[in-house]
């Protein structure tokens, strides 16, 4: 945004604020409703509670629905609680059904029941249908506000249906075609419909090669399908291929952001990276469970070093290289982990043999370990004047990097095999595991070749 544009925006916002302060409803509505819904939501967020109460008075529930659809779920949960229940219920009924379901999923069961009771019957029925689907599935993120036409209809009849239903539909760029039993049989684009002759039948203009997703399919798999085909909308069907709803690209953008945040949280070994909590007690409560687990794993590392106390007493110089060996193991393990977890998430490894992937990672670890091992061997030799000590540290590093790379690749693959989210094999977790492995290798070799070190 340029400086001039930013200044104009500020001036425009000031005019809206002045209209609110002067209680000039007509001027406020003229200026405010001229903004894009996203900008309306931005303005809404700048208001304190008194300001928001005034907006609820000046704007109808239908107008507030457009603002609410551009807020984060956490913000929606906060603001809906300060509305009059009848106003909130009417607003939810005016939102797209899938967006209303996202809000209701965050509320207590009693609140949901209350809103559905006082809501318009048709809207409530539509929302109830979506609430039954399991979270993070295609059914939970689809919308039932779409346009469908029949195979036996003419283009003229289809255009008439489109004119009538388009105002309430979430998207009309694709029009899905169903048969007499409401089974999905084809799709036609808005462009093809416009340029077709009025007396042509839909069955002669539609494409019968339709990509669809099952209502119970995981939202991450749905996002991948939409990304692969570059669709703006994707039909959702049941096991008998009945058309139940559609998923639009804006919902998929939210899914991608949500899944990325979730995976990042797991990589960082915290429960929710998406929530910025100013309360240190609350933040600590979310992070402590993983930290306690890692603390006990760290104690195992300390215990292992204690078992090699005699070796350390005889050759104290070995302690100098513990951070080097452990740190490099953690680094290479995390690198392999990141590559494999991303490959699993994006589906890049679907057509690739798992054995081939493991061999490739082992080769990567061997090459990296050899280069680093040779370098550290000569560095230690010139630094400490002991070639065998350099050889021991270098060879330990080689073995450690190979094993750590394999661990970083194998752990997420095994988790994926057993239907566990591979991102759970977080950076801190795999680092701590590789610390234990590296200590065992390093001190095991040092103990075995003790005579050469003395």
Break the chain into its structural domains and give their ranges. Answer: 35-132, 148-262, 280-453
Tell me the C-alpha distance between 58 and 40, whole Å: 13
Tell me the C-alpha distance between 226 and 241, whole Å: 19
Q: What is the pLDDT of residue 247?
A: 93
Contacts of 37 by beta carbon, 8 Å cutoff, 6+ apart:
66, 67, 69, 70
Q: What is the pLDDT of residue 89?
A: 93
Domain 280-453: give its CATH superfamily.
SLC41 divalent cation transporters, integral membrane domain (1.10.357.20)
Write out residues in the chain with pLDDT < 50, as ranges.
273-274
DSSP state of 217: S
Residue of 74, 453, 48 whose CA lies nearest to 258: 74
CA end-to-end span of the chain: 68
Q: Order the strands of the 174-178 sheet from edge to edge.
A: 148-150, 174-178, 184-189
- CATH class of residue range 35-132: mainly alpha
Residue 148 phi, psi (nearest 5): -125, 150
Q: What is the pLDDT of residue 275?
A: 52
For domain 148-262, give the CATH number: 3.10.580.10
Q: What predicted TM-score, i.e. pTM, was given to this entire model?
A: 0.61
Quote the crossing angle between the two packed helices 49-58 and 25-32, to the nearest 10°.
Answer: 90
């Amino acid at each position: 945004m340029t400086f001039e544009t930013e200044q104009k925006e500020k001036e425009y916002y000031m005019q809206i604020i002045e209209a609110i302060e002067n209680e000039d409803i007509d001027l406020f509505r003229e200026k405010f409703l001229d903004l894009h819904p996203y900008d309306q939501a931005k303005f809404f967020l700048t208001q304190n509670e008194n300001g928001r109460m005034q907006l609820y008075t000046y704007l109808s529930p239908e107008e507030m629905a457009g603002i609410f659809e551009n807020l984060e779920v956490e913000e929606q949960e906060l603001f809906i609680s300060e509305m009059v229940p009848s106003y909130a219920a009417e607003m939810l009924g005016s939102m797209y059904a899938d967006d209303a379901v996202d809000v209701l999923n965050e509320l207590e069961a009693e609140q949901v029941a209350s809103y559905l009771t006082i809501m318009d019957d048709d809207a409530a029925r539509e929302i109830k249908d979506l609430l039954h689907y399991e979270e993070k599935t295609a059914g939970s993120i689809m919308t039932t506000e779409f346009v469908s036409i029949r195979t036996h209809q003419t283009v003229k009849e289809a255009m008439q249906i489109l004119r009538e239903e388009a105002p309430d539909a979430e998207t009309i760029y694709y029009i899905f075609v169903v048969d007499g039993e409401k089974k999905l049989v084809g799709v036609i684009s808005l462009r093809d419909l416009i340029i077709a002759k009025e007396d042509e039948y839909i069955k002669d203009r539609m494409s019968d090669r339709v990509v669809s997703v099952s209502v119970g399919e995981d939202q991450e798999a749905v996002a991948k399908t939409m990304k692969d085909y570059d669709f703006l909308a994707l039909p959702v069907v049941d096991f008998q291929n009945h058309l139940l709803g559609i998923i639009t690209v804006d919902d998929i953008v939210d899914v991608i952001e949500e899944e990325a945040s979730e995976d990042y949280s797991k990589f960082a070994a915290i429960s929710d990276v998406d929530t910025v909590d100013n309360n240190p007690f609350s933040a600590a409560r979310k992070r402590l469970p993983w930290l306690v687990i890692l603390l006990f794993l760290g104690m195992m590392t300390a215990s292992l070093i204690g078992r090699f106390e005699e070796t350390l007493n005889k050759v104290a110089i070995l302690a100098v290289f513990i951070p080097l060996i452990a740190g490099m193991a953690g680094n290479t393990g995390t690198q392999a982990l990141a590559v494999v977890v991303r490959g699993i998430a994006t589906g890049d490894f679907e057509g690739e043999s798992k054995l081939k992937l493991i061999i490739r990672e082992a080769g990567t670890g061997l090459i990296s370990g050899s280069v680093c091992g040779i370098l550290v061997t000569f560095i230690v030799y010139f630094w400490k004047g002991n070639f065998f000590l350099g050889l021991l540290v270098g060879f330990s590093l080689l073995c450690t990097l190979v094993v750590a790379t394999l661990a970083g690749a194998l752990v997420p693959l095994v988790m994926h095999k057993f239907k566990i989210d591979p991102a759970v094999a977080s950076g801190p977790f795999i680092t701590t595991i590789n610390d234990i492995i590296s200590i065992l290798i390093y001190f095991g070799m040092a103990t075995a070749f003790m005579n050469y070190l003395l």
